[in-house]
Structures are given as structure tokens and as C-alpha cells.
Amino acid sequence: MKGDVDTLKNTVFNLTGTLESLPNQVGDLSRLVTSNKLAATETFTSKLVTENLKKDVVRNEKDIEKIETSITGVNTDLREVRNNLKGLDRIEAGMDSFQNSIDSMQNAINQIPEMVMPSDLDTSTSRGLITLKRCPNTLEVTWGICTYQAGDKGPAG
């Protein structure tokens, strides 16, 4: 019996040690549970952040596509403006050429009064007075004698 009592004492002693160590183990378990809760919360938060970031990335990609489309449109518009400016430059060059032609014609018109038949000139020669005259019914201007006389059909005779 004594052996049984000793065994029982040892068992009680071991149980007492085990019971005394239980609060420490419960504390350790509590810390592990808290740590796991924090890790789970961090993981959940991380997943939410990752999902939000993925959504932001998709939104940003769509915005970038819109901007690229807009830039392409602006480039097309700039190309059209550049071509229009080239066309305007050509038109301006044509207008300058046209203006030069007009100026040239105006100069020719301004010189017409100088080309009109002058009044009689008094020129002394061995034959006497020579005058510059316009022959009738023709545009011929001559000094002295007309090739055709008024009403003649051939050379003056």
C-alpha cells in the first residue's frame, strides 16, 4: 500500500506541477491566438489592399487608354493644322504672285499715257516739218506719210 500511496503522491505532485504550468500554457496559447488573430487581420487587410490596388491599376489602365486616344486625336488634329498651314502658305505664295502680276499690269497701264500719240513735234530737217500721226482706220502710228489713206484699199499712191 505504501507503494500505492507513493505512486499516488507522485501522481498528485505531477498533477500539481501540471496544473501550475497550465496558466503559463494558457497564457502562451492566448498569445498565440492573439498573434494568429493579428496575422489573420493583416492577411485580410493585405488582401483588401491588394484587391483595391488591382482595381486602381485597372482604372488607371483605362485612364491611360483614354489619354492615349486623346493624344492620338490631338496628333491627328496637329497634322491637319500643319497641312492646312502648308496649304495656306501655298495660297499666300500664289496670292503674292497674283499681286505681282497685278502690279506689273498696273505699271503697264500707267505707262499707256506715255505711249499715246504725242502732239505734233516741230523738227527741222531738210524737208521741213515732220509730225507723228496716227493713220485713219488703223492703229498705225507713223512719222509723215500713212501707208493707207482714209477710204483707200491699198497703198497710198
Task: Give the Cα separation of 69 and 71 in Å (integer).
Answer: 5
Provide the 3-class DSSP secondary structure of residue 1. Answer: coil
Task: Give the Cα separation of 45 and 39 in Å (integer).
Answer: 10
Q: What is the pLDDT of residues 39-89, one digit of tens each?
A: 778 888 888 888 888 898 899 899 999 999 999 988 898 999 999 999 899
Residue 95 has pLDDT above 90, yes or no: yes
With 0.85 as the threshold, say if the pTM is over it: no
Residue 99 has pLDDT above 90, yes or no: yes
